[in-house]
Structure 1
Amino acid sequence: MTDDLVNKEDVLKAYKVLRSVVKQTPLQHDAYLSQKYHANIFLKREDLQIVRSFKLRGAYYAISQLSEAETETGVTCASAGNHAQGVAYTCNHLGIKATIFMPSTTPSQKIDQVRYFGKEFVEIKLIGDTFDESNEAAHVYADEHNLTFIEPFNDRNVIAGQGTLAVEIHQDLVAEGETADMVFAAIGGGGLISGVSSYMKEAMPETKIIGVESLGAPGMKISLDANKVTTLTDIDKFCDGTAVATVGDLTFRHCQQNVDDILIVPEGQVCGTIIDLYTKQAIVAEPSGALSVSALEQYKDEIKGKTVVCIVSGGNNDINRMAEIDERALLYQGLKHYFIVNFPQRAGALKEFVNDILGGNDDITKFEYTKKVHRSEGPVLIGILLKNKDDIEGLLSRLEKFDPHYISVNENSKLYSFLI
């Protein structure tokens, strides 16, 4: 069935409601990325939205369409952070009470922002380790207290609201005398790409819509491949804004109808993109917000000479995560390695290791060793940072001569999580 799918007119109706509420975020030409990929690349800066993500659009429009009776009893929602901020801002703006469920793993920065935007109109409940667990609890609570549940993605009004950013993209491209060959958008539950594609496929039918998911939560890709909504049994919550185990049945149908391709991006690659956006362009993107830009690397041959729009969907990045982001980026790039190595328990062993095993550009970033009594050797946990990833072959060859039984911690995820 396609008669219940959002269309261009639905999005334009939402746009009329929202244009005096949300910020029309800039569509910026990015000289650095354009030069890097030999393409004409624009960034839709939803990280500069009032709540620093596109989620305000869908939340506000959905709540604005409720009846007076529904708003009087209040609303509830579940969110990993950005949808919650959109609901909180809306409820404070319209004077509506909201109970907001968030996973207990949500970064504190996002929780604090929900409190800031919602003020006295919002009560926060931290339930479950994942969005889906929090979502289930919120639905039960809504039923028990007769509250209207504001869906984060699987709702026509939410989808139409998210699609309003595509109207702005279209307007700005026309003003620049441009048209987009491709638009890249992140996928969590699918609300953003459903709204964007619903508008674009009618307003700019030649534009290809490319969805992007993280390797740890490729729910839409797996569902489309299976031709049915498929729940993931395990997800990586690093890209928390898109860490959804079950995509919506409505958003699934939108993607079946309108999305041309879906790319899967490893979390380590996303981390490199976050750092690149910050250091090269002074853009603070959260992991899910950087997915669209990160996917350009996989499509670098296809986008040459083309005009491309990447939606930077959110900028709610907790500064306390930057150490982890830097670490993941270095691991993905093959520059940082951890080993457990047996060292002889004698004077000069470390000096020998530094002189004979390390390369001239290698650096020790971690060294943990406790001398064992009455033993000839003892295990050392050592972290090594390479300047060039190709140097690893020589390092491993020399390391094997030093200790034939060394253990590569990088290759054992459980050991890495425990030790590092």
Structure 2
Amino acid sequence: MSDLKISYFPELENVKKAAATLKGVAALTPLLPSLNYSRKFEAKILLKREDLQQVRSYKIRGAFNKISSLSQNDRDKGIVCASAGNHAQGVAFACAKLKIKGTIFMPAPTPGQKTEQVKMFGEDYVTIVLTGDTFDDAYKAAKTECDALGKIFVHPFDDEKIIEGQATVGLEIIEQAEEEIDYVFVPVGGGGLASGLSTIFHLLSPKTKVIGVEPEGAPSMSTSIFNKENTTLRLIEKFVDGAAVQRVGDRNFAICKEYLHKMVTVPEGKVCQTILDLYNKDAIVVEPAGALTLSVLDQFADEIKGKNIVCIVSGSNNDITRTAEIKERALLYQGLKHYFIIRFPQRAGALREFLNEILGPNDDITFFEYKKKTSREDGPAVVGIEIQDSASLEPLIARMKSRKFFGEYLNDKPDLFEFLI
């Protein structure tokens, strides 16, 4: 798909106007040092806490800036948006504050915590429509409604007023920082925050390297920059729902390819580990997209040593019902959780032998599914085992094989894994 010819780049004056518009609406979020991460990486790591916004993400900035710019005629028509959650909350908040009717299309798998928040912020001014599996599905449905009813579409990222609103994050960082910032790590979904923030640093702090971070399963900006054209991904992993789009904005791509120093990706399992670490060590609750920038620091450990670093913590709209999945993904990523098809001999004492002779002293069975006895010499069971050290895996498999218990290792067979677990 060829790109639109985009010549828009945010102007500093317009970003300052957005900051004035947002005064008293968007919080001036703190830029706080992280003791844990600063020690770990021997650097000054600062967290821009956009998770502390009233709607728990930076999205209020762009949404309110855009909607407040509409003419009275456009306001009377009502607005429509599509969102995986955070933009929806920003739009809902703006609709209620400005007394504008809005219809918000969200993907059907959106965590319930986010839809409830949208209802709370929007009060009686918004209607929620759950449709499709991804943001892109919701986006198409929203555009159809706009075309049919003549309503105004508030894009979550590919819009000048949205970009200028998100760019105010960059203004605040530069004003709050006591020293020149060497690196800023910014999460990338559709590219609204990355394009606005990178523009501000290009204009006001050109020596600062702005690094965009995407989930490994949805590398839409990385792919587009590599291809030198905005590219639509056919399939994406939707776990990091706040940063999982099949196609970034055309305006956002045009800006990011010029002003981002680099685009990198992070495995979803690493993101999950960061979520747990932030909660357990710092009492900070983040959603998956909010953990992207801290998750990537390992990749830059040598480069950032002794430097001044800012990580954007973009949001905290995490559904507590996802905690089990987050822990599971983190363990799988660390190599501490493993699933097997185990072939148990059809005789008394086989399970006891497996527990006593095969498992290590600190291994724990966390999943066990055994269908029924068969007339064959052995019967399969799906077994999940949590180990204390990833180095214990190979000896464990070796013991299974030596005693004829081993059937299949499932972690590296994604289709079978998804079917059985």
**TM above 0.5:** yes
1:16 corresponds to: 20
Describe how 1:93-108 pairs up with structure 2 within 5 A.
93-108=97-112
2:315 corresponds to: 314
1:190 corresponds to: 191
Describe how 1:245-394 pairs up with structure 2 within 5 A.
245-394=246-395
Q: TM-score, normalised by structure 2?
A: 0.97
Describe how 1:184-223 pairs up with structure 2 within 5 A.
184-223=185-224
2:43 corresponds to: 39
Contact 1:8/1:203 (<8 A) preserved: no
Does residue 6 (structure 1) correspond to residue 7 (structure 2)? The answer is: no
Gapped regions of structure 2 (runs ≥ 5): none
Q: Structure 1 2/413 Cα, relative in aligned 2: closer, same or farther at 3 Å?
A: closer
Structure 1 residue 159, shift from structure 2 partner: 0.3
Q: 1:156 aligned to 157, 160, 164, which one?
A: 160
Q: Structure 1 405/398 Cα, relative in aligned 2: closer, same or farther at 3 Å?
A: closer
> What amino acid is aligned across from residue 76 of structure 2 in structure 1?
E
Structure 1 residue 249, shift from structure 2 partner: 0.7
Q: Indicate the SS of the match to 1:299.
A: helix
Q: Indicate the SS of the match to 2:302.
A: coil
> What amino acid is aligned across from residue 376 of structure 1 in structure 2?
E
Encode CA deviations 1:230-268: one digit per residue, 9 max, x unaligned: 000000000001110011110001101110001110101
Structure 1 residue 201, shift from structure 2 partner: 1.1
Q: TM-score, normalised by structure 1?
A: 0.97
> What amino acid is aligned across from residue 31 of structure 1 in structure 2?
L
Contact 2:77/2:151 (<8 A) preserved: yes
Encode CA deviations 1:66-105: one digit per residue, 9 max, x unaligned: 1110001110000000000000000000000001101111
Alignment partners' CA distance in 1, 2:227 and 2:274: 30
CA RMSD of aligned residues (A): 1.2
Q: Indicate the SS of the match to 2:330.
A: helix
Identity %: 52
Q: How many equivalent residue pairs?
A: 417
Q: Indicate the SS of the match to 2:115.
A: helix
Q: Indicate the SS of the match to 2:301.
A: coil
Does residue 89 (structure 1) correspond to residue 90 (structure 2)? The answer is: no
> What amino acid is aligned across from residue 19 of structure 1 in structure 2?
K
Alignment partners' CA distance in 2, 1:58 and 1:32: 31
Does residue 169 (structure 1) correspond to residue 173 (structure 2)? The answer is: yes
Structure 1 residue 373, shift from structure 2 partner: 4.7
Alignment partners' CA distance in 2, 1:104 and 1:51: 21
Alignment partners' CA distance in 1, 2:172 and 2:400: 56
Does residue 127 (structure 1) correspond to residue 127 (structure 2)? The answer is: no
Encode CA deviations 1:157-198: one digit per residue, 9 max, x unaligned: 10000011111111110xxx3121000011000000111111
Describe how 1:223-262 pairs up with structure 2 within 5 A.
223-262=224-263
Encode CA deviations 1:372-394: one digit per residue, 9 max, x unaligned: 15443211111111100011111
Contact 1:58/1:159 (<8 A) preserved: yes
Q: Which moved more, 1:265-274 or 1:196-205?
A: 196-205
Encode CA deviations 1:1-57: one digit per residue, 9 max, x unaligned: 775211322211111111221111111100000001111000011111010000000
Gapped regions of structure 1 (runs ≥ 5): none
Alignment partners' CA distance in 2, 1:29 and 1:275: 19
> What amino acid is aligned across from residue 49 of structure 1 in structure 2?
Q
